[in-house]
Amino acid sequence: MLYLWLKALHIISMVCWFAGLFYLPRLFVYHAQSEDTVSKERFSLMERKLYRGIMGPAMIATLIFGIALIGLNPAIFSQGAWIHAKLTLVVILIGYHHMCGAQVKRFARGENTRSHVFYRWFNEVPVLILLAIVILVVVRPF
C-alpha cells in the first residue's frame, strides 16, 4: 500500500512540476515582448514566484517520491532499458529546469538577449520530454 501512495504522490508532484515547466517559458515569451517597466517588473515577480514557490518544491517532491519508489522496488532496473531511458530524460529535465532558473535571473537583471520566438521554441522542450517519459513508462517499448 505504501508503494501505491508513493506512486500517487510522485505523479501529483510531477504534474505540478510540469505545469510550471509549461507555464514559465510562456511567461518568458510575454516578458520578452513587453516594453514598459511595469510589465517587466510584474513578469519578473511572477517568474520568480513560480520558479521558487511551485516549480522548485514540485521538482524536489517528484525526485524524493521517485527515489523512494526505486528504493522500494530496486528490481525495476532489471525490467528493461525503459527505466534507464526515463531516468536519463529526468536528468535532462532537471537541466532544463535549471536553465529556466538562469533565465529568471537574467530577466530580473534586465539582461535578456533572446527574442520571444526563441522562448516559443524553448517552451516545447518539456512537452517532448513528457511525451517520451509517458510512453516509456506506460508502453515500456524496450
Task: Give binding residues for heme as ranges.
Answer: 10, 86
Enter the C-alpha cell of residue 60: 524536489
Intra-chain end-to-end CA distance of the chain, in Å:
28
* Phi-psi label, residue 110: left if phi above 0, alpha if psi -120 to 50, beta otherwise: left
Tell which residue, 67, 42, 53, has the closest CA to residue 16: 53
Q: Which residues are annotated as a binding site?
A: 10, 86
Enter the C-alpha cell of residue 6: 508513493
Enter the C-alpha cell of residue 71: 528504493
